[in-house]
Structure 1
Amino acid sequence: MKSTYQHYLALKSENPRRYARDLATMMAISEAELAHIRIGYDAKPMKKDFVALLQALHTVGETKSIVRNEYAVHEQVGRYDNVKLSNHTGLILNPRALDQRIFMRQWASAFLLKEDTHHGERQSIQIFDTHGDSVLKIYAIEKTNITAWNEIIAQFTLESISNFSVTPVGKTLLNTAFDAEKVEEEWRAMTDVHQFFKLLNNHNITRQQAFASVSNKLASKVENTALSRLLDMIQKDQNEIMIFIGNRGCVQIFTGVVEQFIPKGGWLNIFNADFTMHLMENKITETWITRKPTKEGYVTSLELFAEDGTQIAQLYGQRTEGNLEQQRWRNQIESLLVQDQVA
């Protein structure tokens, strides 16, 4: 274990700008396995009482929560208030602040990590799924109540753990024999966007399969530059939008206006006071505009996918449930279709 930790330190020294996720990849292990290697040095394992942990975090005030997948990072400063959890799913429900959807069946391990930076010690609680991939990282920041934070750390950390392991990600077999006409029929009969998950499960298909199988009225494919052009419009128009970025275990949602939109070095970046997004534009291989019916009319989204099928991000116009969709958002989406709709 020590020699592996020394290997990690050497890689970190040689690659000071690389994140733990990158270093783990260089070591041919998962990020959770790297955290496990660091136990006894700058990491401690934590109890798997995830419900109690999230409920306790309301005492610490503001933290920075980072949710990411392979291609996009969503960082939000906020408080763990309005926590609504079961043993399997949950909500952190603070629109325009910390807003998360939790899928706790996927949560498998958690660690406290301490790292020395130019600004002093940086502490974080990091949660991983059964495959060793990051689900959620919660960082103490200047506004965090560090006394309350330390009390939570004392309550939930362990000195060691046994039987730690991760499982490889299995290959998903696609259902190619589904009834496309039935998919369209059920799609058009929806009265709530959340019913779309049931539709996918009923037919055992992916989002992309569903989009490709229905008429253009419901789903239209556009150029992969659409996100950049849309964010530029949104930043200029200052209308509120919603950005969903997630992974197997957590989705984090931003709601608000885009203060700064900066494309740079293949990344699309948003810099707001309490929200930051980084998304790899050159990894977008499919972009879809979708329209899902609700009791208040159609709700329109922009959905982005990578070559491996990962949903990179999903965007909506800000809408309070029970209200019509924002007309400015519809106009912006329509302008993308007019510019470059593809067959």
Structure 2
Amino acid sequence: MSGTLTAEAIRAARADKPRLRARDLAESLGISEAELVAAHAGRGVTRISADPDRLVAGLEALGDVMALTRNEHCVHERRGTYLDYRGGHHASMVLGHEIDLRIFPSHWVHAFAVEDAGDEGVKRSLQVFDAAGDAVHKVHLKPESDVAAFDRLVAELRLADQGAAVTVGARAAVEPAKGDTARAGDLREAWDRMTDTHQFLALVKRLGMNRLGAYRMVGEAHARPLARDAVTALLNGASAAAVPVMIFVGNRGCIQIHSGPVEKIVPMGPWINVMDARFNLHLRADKVAEVFWVTKPTRTGPAVSVEAFDAAGELILQIFGWRKDGDSSAWEALAASLPRREEVPA
């Protein structure tokens, strides 16, 4: 456990501030969110296996739930059922038409079933954290969900160790932008030979670069810097013109994807929000430091994306066009219309 806080002290702090979001309370206490949850083991919290082959494979039985994946500056919430789970040692997937996930099992370290009694009844969730105690993925039951299936799954996944403390490590540092101007020509040449967007990360790694470093130096034919408010403009434009999109939000352990329209765009303080019936997005627009329009060649035509990064160089989210019918012209026109940025960080 971080610092000198006991489980009793953590529970007292939670009782003192019952309405404060768990992530914010943990930060104020100088502990991880996993440690905050673990402190309540035996008090509405059950420690369970974090193995996706057991946990995620069992979620379909819960029926309609809300899937939540977030990073430091963006929260992605999608209603649906966990369908078509495909396990894998290095990467697993959920390929339902509503809940669409890419899972990286090595970062699924701590998991808990949480039952929180409140004025509106018992709220049930399954919460997964990485080695640093940061949230990787959460599943929130809704009134339509199968509570009996939840109880059975928790019983199956329950760990023998129900202690109120977990051991967490240091959070991995964000890799700053990394490029090599001497190899810009090699980058452009290799970029133009791509046939699938999934080839990109291996390509830049081979050249000693990373995503943001490559975007900064490849040139505007491949990656064009946009204004910091371009994501807000994009969401508003997609809503107004009914342009369907794919929105990717992730962390080291999970990427969650929404495919379809965005309709109700609601600004609230520093946040820009999508508040639709089956999909919610919450983005700290003030934390967006850089945005790029990016095009990559594929076998089926160019894949155009809009990608946002924070001041440390961490990817916040990516937005692509949803080419369900094969026509991406409306998306490409919308992306091309976004305001440009005049100055790019060195």
TM-score bracket relative to the smaller structure: over 0.9
Does the 8 Å contact 1:299/1:325 carry over to 2?
Answer: no
Residue identity matched to 1:231: L
Which sits farther off after the overlay, 118-127 or 36-45? Answer: 36-45
Q: CA deviation at 1:252?
A: 0.5
Equivalent in the alignment of 2:118? 117
Equivalent in the alignment of 1:49? 51
Partner of 1:217, secondary structure, is: coil
Partner of 1:54, secondary structure, is: helix
Equivalent in the alignment of 1:27? 29
Equivalent in the alignment of 1:132? 133
Q: Label 1:172 to 1:240 Cα distance change in 2 as closer, same or farther (>3 A).
A: closer
Q: CA deviation at 1:169?
A: 2.4
Partner of 1:252, secondary structure, is: strand
Residue identity matched to 2:150: W
Matches within 5 A, 1:215-226: 215-226=219-230
Distance of 1:122 and 1:291 partners within structure 2: 43
Residue identity matched to 2:238: I
Q: Percent identity?
A: 31
Does the 8 Å contact 1:43/1:114 carry over to 2?
Answer: yes
Matches within 5 A, 1:286-305: 286-305=290-309
Q: Label 1:36 to 1:185 Cα distance change in 2 as closer, same or farther (>3 A).
A: same
Q: Label 1:206 to 1:100 Cα distance change in 2 as closer, same or farther (>3 A).
A: same
1:203 aligned onto 2:207: yes
Partner of 2:143, secondary structure, is: strand
Partner of 1:144, secondary structure, is: coil
Size of the alignment, in residue pairs? Answer: 338
Q: TM-score, normalised by structure 2?
A: 0.91
Equivalent in the alignment of 2:243? 239
Matches within 5 A, 1:309-328: 309-320=313-324, 324=326, 326-328=328-330
Q: Label 1:180 to 1:169 Cα distance change in 2 as closer, same or farther (>3 A).
A: farther
Residue identity matched to 1:291: T
Q: TM-score, normalised by structure 1?
A: 0.92
Residue identity matched to 1:274: R
Does the 8 Å contact 1:58/1:79 carry over to 2?
Answer: yes
Distance of 1:204 and 1:167 partners within structure 2: 28
Q: CA deviation at 1:65?
A: 0.9
- CA RMSD, 1 decimal: 2.1
Which sits farther off after the overlay, 203-212 or 161-170? Answer: 161-170
Equivalent in the alignment of 1:38? 40
Matches within 5 A, 1:1-343: 4-95=6-97, 97-158=98-159, 160-161=161-162, 164-171=166-173, 175=178, 177=180, 179-320=183-324, 324=326, 326-336=328-338, 339-343=339-343
Q: CA deviation at 1:159?
A: 5.1
